[in-house]
Amino acid sequence: MKDITMACEAFETILKEQMARIANMRTEKTDFSTKKQVIIGVIDGDGIGPIITAHAYHVLAKLLSEEIEAGSVVLRQINGLTIENRMACGQPIPTAVLEEIKACDVLLKGPTTTPHGGTMESANVAMRRELDLYANCRPVCIPEKNIDWMFYRENTEGEYVLGSKGVELPGMAVDFKVTTDLGTRRIARAAFEYAKQNGKHHVSIVTKANIMKKTDGKFTAIAHEVAKDYPDITVEDYYIDIMTANLLKEPLREKFQVILLPNLYGDIITDEAAQLQGGVGTAGSANIGDRYAMFEAIHGSAPRMIQRGQGHYANPASMLKASAMLLRHICRTEAAQRLEKALDACAGLTVGPDGITGAQYAEAVMQHL
């Protein structure tokens, strides 16, 4: 009985924390089209992170050189989000580092390592929560296969937000999942607004609502409520298991345009989609909130590459694609287009032991800017 009482107390604490989070969701949106100064924080991360982030830093510095000189853009290096510092501080984001992060407007972040086991929360999960980065946006575009997808993954709820707060009883472990009305409504609104503004006419809502009837059921119902405000957009429901198959099924997959999902499903299926594009090492993603935004590669820190002494072969394409997304977000469209065209021009280059180094790839991109 003592164990059950402790578990109930832990669950009560979780519910109170989530109610407090809901109360703090509404914030003013940053308008980058009128902002006089934009501060871009650059975070190295772990493993190959410092290597590929350095390449992206130099590309951004070249693209934004005039604005940096004028003071309208600031590139600010943020140190201390390493696994060593996080473990030493016992915090997923050390307090001093979080203060530096919150002094920026947008972030370009290298991959970070999450310890296996224990209770240390992922730095990414903590950052999404602290900055309320509720929309994870991942594009997958393969013109030769008629694929043009944009995934909108809810980023601050689901299993991940409570992933380190489960309870253990003798012979049993229980984790939790949370879905809120406000959290679902705003990610659904973001997905439908993207569709409307970009001439898309099809939104797929992907859940497992036939099994997770309360949480996924709520997500589906609220998404359909939001959809009523967009009568020109076709909406279809899919279960996550069949959707993973549909992304591989030709020609069915060609009809998908905007795909809206809860957190866990979005994390998994976007890696599958990225593999079709050339692998997770080539894809970038955006984590967007009303006040802050963070842009990153979708792959991990690749510690084995460092251990094998192959860090110089780390492909910076993912960080450069994330940089292009960052530039568009802060209304530097011309710079974003220059970078995107340069990346397209370098699409045939192979980075790795049988090709060129990451530095050579970045230099090739720079030459095409």
Q: Domain-by-domain residue ranges, the chain? A: 25-133+289-369, 134-152+170-278
Confidence at 306, pLDDT banded by 50, 70, 90: very high
- Please report the pLDDT score of residue 280 as a whole number: 63
Please compute, for residue 34, the number of CA atoms within 13 A of its CA located in the half-sphere on the CB side: 3
- Once rounded to an integer, what is the mean pLDDT over residues 211-236? 97
Do 25-133+289-369 and 134-152+170-278 fold alike per CATH? yes
Q: What is the pTM of this model?
A: 0.85
CATH number of 25-133+289-369: 3.40.718.10
Q: Tens digit of pLDDT for each residue in 103-151?
A: 999 999 999 998 876 667 889 889 988 999 999 999 998 889 999 999 9
Instruction: Give the residue with greater pLDDT, 171 vs 244.
Output: 244
Instruction: Give the residue with greater pLDDT, 299 vs 351.
Output: 351
Instruction: Give the residue with greater pLDDT, 11 vs 204.
Output: 204
> Rounded mean pLDDT of the chain?
92
CA distance 226 to 193: 10
pLDDT higher than 80, residue 26: no
Fold (CATH) for 134-152+170-278: Isopropylmalate Dehydrogenase (3.40.718)
Confidence at 357, pLDDT banded by 50, 70, 90: very high
Residues facing 255 on adjacent strands: none
Characterize 51-80 residue by residue with b for buried, 16 or more Cβ atoms within 10 angstroms of its Cβ, and e for exposed.
bbbbbbbbbbeebbeebbeeeebebeebeb
Residue ranges of alpha helices (H) inside 41-168 are: 49-63, 65-70, 83-89, 95-102, 123-131
CA distance 167 to 33: 46
For residue 254, the 8-state DSSP code is G
- Please report the pLDDT score of residue 40 as a whole number: 98
CA distance 23 to 63: 40
CA distance 103 to 350: 38
- Please report the pLDDT score of residue 47 as a whole number: 96
Residue whose entry in the numeric block shows the structure tokens 């580092």? 97
